[in-house]
Amino acid sequence: MQMQYIHANEDWSRFLDICNRNLMFAPYTVKFTQHHAESIFAPFMQSHESLCLIGYDTNGKEGVVHISIPSDDRDFAVLHLLLADTNNAAQSLLKKAEDWAAEHDISLIRSHHLKLNPYHCLMYGTESYCWGGLYTARNAFTRQGWDLEFDIVNMYLDLHHLPDIYDPGIADTDLIEVDIEEDALSISGKFRVMRDGTALASSGYIFHKEISAFLGKGIGQLWIFSNNEIHGQGFGRQVITEVHRKLFDLGAHRIILATNNAFFRAIKFYQNLGYEHELIHAYTYMKEL
């Protein structure tokens, strides 16, 4: 069935309706509104090289695709959204995104990027990858020959009381909180264990203000990093439990995180802290044009 296309800014109501219909069951996602379109999506598209299309056919099947190029790095493009009612619609929209990237001399497209993301703290928390419930997008990636980059495991921890902080009892280290920021959508920051000016372990946190308000439950998110040479000494556990308490103080009663299915040691670490697996997986894809 031949698809027709219009730019999202020609009909924001239709764009929002398609997104919300396809994201109805996506975890940790708010309902997109005209306010989001006017205050976040449209300004982003004006400040970045972007293609955001609505596609539709004569049978009433619709979809949207959104792709952008980082302003400071033209080595790749980022596919933010691929949502569609049917496999054919999703594939047709994905092909339009590939053609647009090729016309802009882009040779690599990724379906996930934390920094270039207009849907940050609105969709899947901080993530924008294709989530496991949307089979039409996954089928389109397969049909168009995209490679699976990461098989993402989503995990969560419910906090019922003020969590304890783990102290490894090792001298000559300092625990600091840095990069504290707040905007309309979130509050974020990082904890670091330092020794002689070097970060041994770090854990960042995000309290999702708008997602929490939409879901009626405080939702926090975190990431963690530690140097390989200090694994097993308790510094990772120290920073992540600090983040647990910080997010609880901010009002989070559920903490979410994402890790790669191949990171067995990390998954076991989270399980030992009480984290459980979400029922829905997510995936990131890439394609060299």
Residues 146 and 181 in one domain: no
Task: Tell me which residue range forms the domain holding 221.
Answer: 161-252
Token pair recorded at residue 252: 């989070």
Identity at 252, one-letter amino acid code: A
Instruction: Say if residue 136 is in the same domain as residue 18.
Output: yes
Would you say residue 260 lies in a domain? no
Range scoring the smallest mean pLDDT among 10-19, 138-147, 209-218, 223-232: 223-232
Specify the higher pLDDT residue, 172 or 189: 189
Q: What is the pLDDT of residue 241?
A: 96
In this structure, the answer to whether residues 12 and 98 fall within a common structural domain is yes
The residue whose two tokens read 């405080």 is 218
pLDDT, one tens digit per residue, over 36-76 is 999 999 999 999 999 999 999 999 999 999 999 998 888 99
**pLDDT class of 130 with cuts at 50, 70, 90:** low
Q: Please write the tens of the pLDDT for every residue from 196-228.
A: 888 999 999 999 999 999 999 999 999 998 777
What's residue 131's pLDDT? 59
Q: Comparing 20-34, 134-148, 221-235, 265-279, which segment has the lowest mean pLDDT?
A: 221-235
- Dist CA 11 CA 54 (whole Å): 9
Q: Are residues 105 and 17 both part of a single domain?
A: yes
Question: Is 15 found in the same domain as 139?
Answer: yes
- Per-residue pLDDT, averaged over 117-141, amounts to 82
Residues 165 and 82 in one domain: no
Q: Tell me the residue type at 245.
A: R
As a whole number, the mean pLDDT across the chain is 92
CATH of the domain at 115: 3.40.630.30
Q: Are residues 49 and 172 in the same domain?
A: no
**Domain contains 263:** no
Based on the domain organization, do 148 and 223 belong to the same domain?
A: no
In a domain, 277, yes or no: no
Answer yes or no: do 48 and 141 share one domain: yes
57 lies in a domain?
yes
Do 188 and 148 share a domain, yes or no?
A: no
Given a cut of 70, whether residue 239 has pLDDT beyond it is yes
Rounded to an integer, the average pLDDT of 128-156 is 85
Can you give the pTM of this predicted structure? 0.92
Asked if the structure places residue 269 within a domain, the reply is no
In a domain, 272, yes or no: no
Q: Can you list the positions of beta strands (E) in 161-252? A: 174-182, 186-195, 198-208, 219-226
Q: Verify that 103 and 175 share a domain, yes or no.
A: no
Per DSSP (E only), the strands in the chain are 4-7, 49-56, 62-69, 77-84, 108-110, 130-131, 147-158, 174-182, 186-195, 198-208, 219-226, 254-260, 276-277, 282-288
242 occurs within a structural domain = yes
Query: What are the tokens at 229?
Result: 């040479």
Q: Is the pLDDT of residue 128 over 60?
A: no
pLDDT of residue 12: 98
Helix-strand-coil split of the chain, %, nearest 5 = 30, 35, 35
The arithmetic mean of pLDDT across residues 162-167, rounded, is 90
**Domain membership flag for residue 278:** no
Q: Which pLDDT score is estimated for 155?
A: 94
Q: How confident is the model at residue 283 (pLDDT cuts 50, 70, 90)?
A: confident
What residues contact 174, with CB distance under 8 A and at least 6 apart? 193, 194, 195
Distance CA 117, CA 129 (A): 10
User: Total domain count for the chain?
Assistant: 2
pLDDT of residue 1: 66
In terms of domains, do 200 and 117 share one?
no
